């Protein structure tokens, strides 16, 4: 046994020296913890409001490594996940701890499971760069510093894909990037009779980032197409999705401002991160009807000193389906945080959130979806 341990140690040392000779390797990690109290009104006057305490490891906790070479770079990253639960990102509006959705049960490593977040390599071929693997999509841009929704106010009209990271081939030419990603077909049932999906092309995204100190502007666009077929009549319909977004940032000494605008056609078919139930294409009889969504997210911040930063943010989402009867779903969020830097890499972030779920209209019938008030603290320690 001792000999085996010595042999393994020698192999590890040789591997480490070899890797160092070929590339610089930097290990890193981030431990994050969620302590939130939520008062939830579900909009039903016949039932009482629901009060919940969330006390668990944050879904954004991670461990990984960065590899930097002469022409080839790479990265891998993993995070903690619960086991034995169904991860369902379709409706994060009623994000109550204990329910099987991606924001609650997905973050606690109760059974010690790990999940792959990132694994990609990139080759600098001179005129540009080629990246392959799993990485963030180009349709991903943080606006608010809120942590409760696992990455800003993205589900309420922000710029984010629901899976956060996905398989892709990406080309980079300076400030312009072009990516070919796996087609998202999780929303494939606008009609029970159109039950076969045909995919011909990958999802395509493009992004151009511009900087004019102290301003920055990011322009992002994506397109996806797949076909649904009625296996009985052989009739087919194409579900075309567009996702367009712009994010502007400005820094004025200790103050900063961020604003994003988004427009989506069949956004949920595309795979955007959204709380809306009306961003999917739907059938009205035998006619396919598109859905549209418009979102705005804004944040204003002030760095008081090296220890304290204040930020206020807002997000609003409006969505509807192009049917003869009204089908709409809107939502908005107001939030305030105080980011307290206790030491380099150590952060304590109190957060106060009011989430207005507003009314949802289903075929002309309106229903109250209630609201949610959240107060809590997000804890984070980064290490490397």
Kindly state the average pLDDT of the residues 95-108. Answer: 41
Q: Say if residue 271's pLDDT is above 70.
A: yes
Return all residues near 168 (Cβ < 8 A) that are at least 6 apart. Answer: 131, 132, 133, 134, 135, 137, 179, 180, 181, 182
Kindly state the average pLDDT of the residues 74-96. Answer: 59
In terms of Cα–Cα distance, which of 280, 348, 350, 353 is closest to 315? 353
Q: Is residue 8 part of a domain?
A: no
Give the pLDDT confidence score for residue 121 in this predicted structure: 98
Q: Is residue 6 part of a domain?
A: no
- What is the rounded distance in angstroms from the CA atom of residue 206 to the CA atom of residue 252? 29
Q: Say if residue 8's pLDDT is above 50.
A: no
- Two structure tokens written together for 383: 């290490």
Q: Say if residue 94's pLDDT is above 70.
A: no
- What is the rounded distance in angstroms from the CA atom of residue 328 to the CA atom of residue 48? 26
Give the pLDDT confidence score for residue 170 in this predicted structure: 98
Task: Tell me the percentage of the chain whose pLDDT exceeds 90.
Answer: 69
- Two structure tokens written together for 183: 């087609």
Give the pLDDT confidence score for residue 108 in this predicted structure: 53
**Cα dihedral sign, 246-182-163-114:** negative
Give the pLDDT confidence score for residue 377 in this predicted structure: 97
Q: Say if residue 334's pLDDT is above 70.
A: yes
Give the pLDDT confidence score for residue 110 in this predicted structure: 57
Q: Give the tens place of pLDDT for each residue, 118-129.
A: 999 999 999 999
Q: Say if residue 327's pLDDT is above 50.
A: yes
13 and 21 Cβ atoms separated by less than 8 Å: no
Give the pLDDT confidence score for residue 208 in this predicted structure: 98
Give the pLDDT confidence score for residue 274 in this predicted structure: 95
253 and 282 Cβ atoms separated by less than 8 Å: no
Confidence of residue 187 (pLDDT cuts 50, 70, 90): confident
Q: Is residue 310 part of a domain?
A: yes
- What is the rounded distance in angstroms from the CA atom of residue 189 to the CA atom of residue 328? 19
Q: Say if residue 226's pLDDT is above 70.
A: yes
Count CA atoms closer than 13 A to 82's CA, side-chain side: 22
294 three-class SS: strand
Kindly state the average pLDDT of the residues 85-92. Answer: 40
Tell me, what CATH number does 309's domain have? 2.40.160.10
Confidence of residue 335 (pLDDT cuts 50, 70, 90): very high
Q: Give the tens place of pLDDT for each residue, 231-240.
A: 888 888 899 9
Q: Say if residue 99's pLDDT is above 60.
A: no
Kindly state the average pLDDT of the residues 169-190. Answer: 90
Count CA atoms closer than 13 A to 246's CA, side-chain side: 5
In terms of Cα–Cα distance, which of 177, 153, 64 is closest to 116? 64
- What is the rounded distance in angstroms from the CA atom of residue 45 to the CA atom of residue 370? 10
Kindly state the average pLDDT of the residues 106-124. Answer: 78
| Angle (CA) 17 26 81, round 5° | 120
Q: Say if residue 330's pLDDT is above 80.
A: yes
Domain total for the chain? 1
Give the pLDDT confidence score for residue 164 in this predicted structure: 85
Q: Give the tens place of pLDDT for each residue, 339-375.
A: 999 999 999 999 999 999 999 999 999 999 999 999 9
Q: Is residue 100 part of a domain?
A: yes
Give the pLDDT confidence score for residue 109 in this predicted structure: 54
Give the pLDDT confidence score for residue 111 in this predicted structure: 59
**Cα dihedral sign, 267-268-273-276:** positive
Q: Is residue 4 part of a domain?
A: no
Q: Is residue 17 part of a domain?
A: no
- Does 139 or 41 have the greater pLDDT score? 139
Range of the domain at 218: 28-383
Q: Is residue 5 part of a domain?
A: no
In terms of Cα–Cα distance, which of 152, 134, 135 is closest to 143? 152
Kindly state the average pLDDT of the residues 75-90. Answer: 64
Q: Is residue 1 part of a domain?
A: no
């Amino acid at each position: 046994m001792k000999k085996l341990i010595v042999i393994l140690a020698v192999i590890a040392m040789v591997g480490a020296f070899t890797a160092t000779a070929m590339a610089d390797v930097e290990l890193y990690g981030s431990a994050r913890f969620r302590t939130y109290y939520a008062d939830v009104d579900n909009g039903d006057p016949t039932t009482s409001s629901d009060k919940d305490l969330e006390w668990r490891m944050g879904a954004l906790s991670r461990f990984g490594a960065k590899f930097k070479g002469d022409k080839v770079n790479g990265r891998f990253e993993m995070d903690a996940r619960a086991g034995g639960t169904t991860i369902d990102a379709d409706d994060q509006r009623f994000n109550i701890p204990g329910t099987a959705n991606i924001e609650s049960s997905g973050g606690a490593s109760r059974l010690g499971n790990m999940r792959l977040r990132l694994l990609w390599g990139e080759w600098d071929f001179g005129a540009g760069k080629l990246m392959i693997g799993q990485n963030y999509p180009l349709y991903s841009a943080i606006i608010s510093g809120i942590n409760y929704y696992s990455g800003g106010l993205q589900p309420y009209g922000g710029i984010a894909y629901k899976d956060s990271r996905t398989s892709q081939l990406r080309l980079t030419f300076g400030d312009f990037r072009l990516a070919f990603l796996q087609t998202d077909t999780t929303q494939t049932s606008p009609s029970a009779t159109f039950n076969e999906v045909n995919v011909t092309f990958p999802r395509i995204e493009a992004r151009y980032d511009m900087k004019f100190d102290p301003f920055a502007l990011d322009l992002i666009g994506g397109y996806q197409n797949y076909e649904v077929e009625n296996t009985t009549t052989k009739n087919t319909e194409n579900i075309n999705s567009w996702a367009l977004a712009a994010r502007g940032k400005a820094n004025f000494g200790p103050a900063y401002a961020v604003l994003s605008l988004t427009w989506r056609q069949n956004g949920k078919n595309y795979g955007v991160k959204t709380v809306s139930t009306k961003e999917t294409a739907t059938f009205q009889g035998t006619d396919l009807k598109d859905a549209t969504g418009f979102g705005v997210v804004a944040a204003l911040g002030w760095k008081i000193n090296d220890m304290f930063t204040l930020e206020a943010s807002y997000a609003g989402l409006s969505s509807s389906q192009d049917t003869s009867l009204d089908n709409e779903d809107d939502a908005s969020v107001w939030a305030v945080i105080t980011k307290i830097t206790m030491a380099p890499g150590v952060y304590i972030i109190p957060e106060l959130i009011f989430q207005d779920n507003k009314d949802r209209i289903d075929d002309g019938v309106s229903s109250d979806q209630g609201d949610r008030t959240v107060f809590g603290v997000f804890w984070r320690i980064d290490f490397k």
